[in-house]
Amino acid sequence: LQLLLAACFSQAAELVCSQNGDLESPQLVKDGDVMLGGLFSFHNNWKEREETYTEKPLPLQCTSLNFREFQLAQAMLFAIEEINNSSDLLPGVSLGYKIYDTCGFNARSVKVALALLNDYENVSAPSKECGRPAQVQAIMGEASSSPSTAIATVIGPFFIPMISHFATCACLSDKSKYPSFLRTIPSDYYQSRALAQLVKHFGWTWVGAVRTNDDYGNSGMATFTETAQHLGICLEYSVSFFRTDPADKIQKIINTIKASTSKVIVAFLSQADMDVIIHEFSSHNLTGYQWVGTEAWIFDFQTAAGDRNHILDGAVGLSIPKAHVSGLQEFILNVEPLFSSNNDLFTEFWETLFSCEFKLSYSVEIKTRCTGQEDLTGVGNTFTDMSLMPIFNNMYKGVYAVARALHNILSCNQTCDGNAQLDPLTILQQIKEIHFKTKEGDEVYFNENGDPAAKYEIINWQRRDDGPVEFAVVGLYDASLPEDRQMDVHIESIVWAQNSLMMPVSVCSEKCPPGKRKVLQKGKPVCCYDCLHCAEGEISNSTDSVTCVRCPLESWSNENRDACIKKEAEFLSYNEIMGSLLTAASLFGTCMTVAVAVIFVTHRNTPLVRANNSELSFLLLFSLKLCFLCSL
């Protein structure tokens, strides 16, 4: 027993931290006095594998390069370089970065986020302590809501600030669950409500809905559905899918849309999932639908370029207001620093960007050999498209928000206080309090939920003579204004589905005109009803009336049952048969009454007349005569 206790105490004295699992190496690294982390989905898909659970799983194999994420990484590097070269912001303090590829996979996103919180040095030596501060002071990213919720849940207890440029799920505004999450893009709480108001503004009460099956789509659609119900909008169907779903599930969604009667589809989809829908609609030749979209795809050049069959022509939706950052476009298009990083990822990036190979393979597709000296002159693809500049600007503003907070914490003036301790909670609190303007004049600040002000442009896809799609701004939405002034739409400027200038109609039942009332159809939503005529003597004088109102006694309903009219008195003519007969009867009665009265007067002293009360008899005969004469 003594030997066992001695062994236990010996092990306790030599408690060490050890690395579990494989090391994750960053794709881009630059040392600095203060380090920032970056999480980007340089790939947006991965190869599925069936694990045997008998051996260690192989590393995740990522596929499908996403040029948009390379652009966003460049925007982050541009902001850091600009800050490092500035003498006004963080003088004498350099920012460094560590950037990882998440492959759009939630589990990997969490893994690399944890890697940003820890060093890779050998920590198995007994002298190393298990508790050390995080190696990065803030994390920039992720773009999607689902990985952002996963990461924010993990790093929240450490209060490491996480600033997303494109994660819009309203759920992320819950500070009890995600205390360290902030973003430079408005919450879907406002976008979902704005979309419902937009649909109502166009008079569409019978719509279909398609959403991405993740936090972004499910949360956004839930808010849209709730708001739509309050506005009297009905959803004929609401379906969800993810781009990796099997083909039979997506086919069921296509069949549901085919069988529907609504002509408007609200698409709460990510850009990658929207590409899947476009492909399926093209395969089934489904056109003529009016699409309503979110900021995730409504102003994306890649989505528009992939819509070769004009499925989305005339689409309307909300987008982040246009932005410009001087010098950013030139920096993004300077790809040589990426290639010089000597990372396999950027070799793949270079080969895909220029359609060449460094090591020619015997493939069906013949490619040229890469020299490493290629330039982007004349290259037209997703990487050279700058339509997502507003999102790049969000990344730019996020990096500057961290730098401003550090500037205040380090008490920077001509120089910064090198002895100041950087505590994650202090940095987070300082970021929440900053309020500044960028060099382009954009205001940057966060509300109590870590969200910016909600402002959107209303975008309309307009295709000119089979040319490229033009993202025309046809209105604005500002959630900070009073409710009756939040939305401003120029309907006359909109080109609808199939390049029509007439607004499409999407209702389950036509409106009931005055004179009719609505009767709900059994087993169907409230937007589906029959219009029944009001009964005789009842009216309805408004459109879509639920009940008919009975007219006053002195009035009756008109022929259309939409107004009460006063009853008119009508008299019989003496020339009519009925008039002649009634007149003759009246005169005959009068004559008979007069004759009886004469007889009574003549024999008024006889016992018989006296016995019948002559005064009362004369009064009755006089009254009878008047009764006969009054009808004339």
104 plus 64 within the same structural domain? yes
Determine the length of the chain.
632
Distances 369 to 112, 176, 334 between C-alpha atoms, Å:
34, 54, 21
Residue 248 has pLDDT above 80, yes or no: yes
The answer to whether 155 touches 117, Cβ cutoff 8 Å, is yes
Same domain, yes or no: 36 and 132: yes
Supply the pLDDT for residue 493: 94
Same domain for 558 and 581, yes or no, is no
Non-local CB neighbours of 124 within 8 Å, separated by 6+ positions? 16, 17, 18, 19
Of 107-121, 356-370, 401-415, 495-509, the one with minimum mean pLDDT is 356-370
Longest CA span, the chain: 156
Are residues 433 and 492 both part of a single domain? no
How high is the pLDDT of residue 127?
Answer: 44
* pLDDT for 291 beyond 60: yes
Which residues does residue 239 pair with via DSSP β-bridges, in sequence order? 210
The pLDDT score that the predictor gives to residue 627 is 85
Q: What is the predicted pLDDT for the residue at 117? A: 87
Same domain for 177 and 192: no
pLDDT in tens, 336-389: 777 777 678 888 888 888 888 888 766 656 678 888 888 887 788 889 988 889
Quickly count: other Cβ atoms within 10 Å of residue 518's Cβ: 19
pLDDT digits (tens, 9 = 90+) for 574-620: 778 887 888 888 888 888 888 888 888 888 788 877 777 777 887 88
Q: For tokens 């630059």, what's the residue?
A: 30
| 456: CB partners within 8 A, 6+ apart | 186, 190, 191, 194, 295, 318, 319, 320, 321, 476, 477, 478
Q: Is residue 366 part of a domain?
A: no
- Could you count the other beta carbons within 10 Å of the beta carbon of residue 188? 32
Is the pLDDT at 1 greater than 50? The verdict is no
Both structure tokens of 171: 């759920």
d(CA 137, CA 98): 11
Q: Check residue 364 and report its DSSP letter.
A: S
Q: What is the CA 480 to chain-centroid distance, rounded?
A: 17
- The SS3 assignment for 377 reads coil
Q: What are the Cα distances from residue 385, in Å, to 56, 67, 380, 491?
A: 41, 10, 7, 29
| Structure tokens belonging to residue 400 | 């500057």
| Residue 540 confidence (pLDDT) above 60 | yes
Q: Quick one: which of 133, 189, 188, 151 has its CA closest to 166?
A: 188
Residue 499 corresponds to which tokens in the numbers above?
Answer: 């390049």
The count of other CB atoms within 10 Å of the CB of residue 405 is 22
- Type of residue at 302: Q
What pLDDT, on a 0 to 100 scale, did the predictor assign at position 125? 45
- Domain presence at residue 588: yes
DSSP bridge partners of 39? 100
Q: What is the pLDDT of residue 468?
A: 84
CA distance 455 to 486: 9
Instruction: Tell me, yes or no, whether 27 and 111 share the same domain.
Output: yes
DSSP output for 525-546: -TT-EEEEEPPTTEE--STT-S
Task: Assign residue 515 a region (left: φ > 0; alpha: ψ between -120 and 50; beta: otherwise).
Answer: left
Instruction: Mark whether 480 and 521 lie in a shared domain.
Output: no
* Token pair belonging to 265: 């589809």
Residue with tokens 């002071």: 137
Question: Nearest to residue 37, comparing CAs of 349, 340, 397, 402?
Answer: 402
**DSSP 8-state assignment for residue 147:** H
pLDDT digits (tens, 9 = 90+) for 175-191: 999 999 999 999 999 99
CATH code for the domain in which residue 399 is found: 3.40.50.2300
Give the DSSP letter string of 341-383: T--HHHHHHHHHHHTEESS----SS--EEP-S----TT--STT
Residues contacting 190, CB < 8 A, separation 6+: 454, 456, 479
Per the listing, tokens 């809501």 go with 145
Please state which of the ranges 155-169, 261-275, 555-569 shows the lowest mean pLDDT: 555-569
Q: What gap in Å lies between CA 142 and CA 40, rounded to an integer? A: 6
Give the mean pLDDT of 509-527: 92
Q: Does 614 reside within a domain?
A: yes
Residue 274: its pLDDT value, please? Answer: 94
139/239 same-domain check: no
Domain that holds residue 588: 577-630
Do 398 and 378 meet the contact criterion of CB atoms below 8 Å apart? no
Question: Among the three residues 428, 445, 462, which one is the final residue of a domain in this structure?
Answer: 445
Backbone φ, ψ for residue 460 (5° rounding): -130, 125
Of 15-19, 36-40, 447-451, 543-547, the poorest mean pLDDT is in 15-19
**H helix or E strand, kind and range, residue 460:** strand 455-463
pTM of the model as a whole: 0.79
- CB hemisphere CA count around 322 (13 angstroms): 9
- pLDDT tens-digit profile of 66-102? 999 999 999 999 999 999 999 999 999 999 999 999 9
Same-domain status, 282 and 330: no
Give dist(CA 460, CA 202) in Å, integer: 14
User: Residue 457: is the preceding peptide bond cis (ω within 30°)?
Assistant: no
Cα–Cα distance measured from residue 23 to residue 351, given in angstroms and rounded to the nearest whole number: 27
Decide if 374 is inside a domain.
no
Cα torsion angle, 184, 189, 192, 197, sign: negative
Residue 506 lies in a domain: no
CA 200 to chain centre: 14
What distance in Å separates the CA atoms of residue 337 and residue 30, rounded to the nearest whole number?
Answer: 12
Judgement on whether residues 86 and 155 belong to the same structural domain of the protein: yes
Q: Say if residue 396 is in the same domain as residue 488.
A: no
Question: Domain tally for the chain?
Answer: 4
Q: Is residue 155 part of a domain?
A: yes
Q: Is residue 510 part of a domain?
A: no
In a domain, 4, yes or no: no
- What is the DSSP secondary-structure string of 280-328? HHHHTT----EEEE-TTTTT-HHHHHH-TT-SSTT-EEEEPPP---TTH
Closest CA to 325 of 384, 372, 391: 391
Predicted pLDDT at 124: 46
Say if CB 262 and CB 236 are below 8 A apart: yes
Same domain, 180 and 192: no
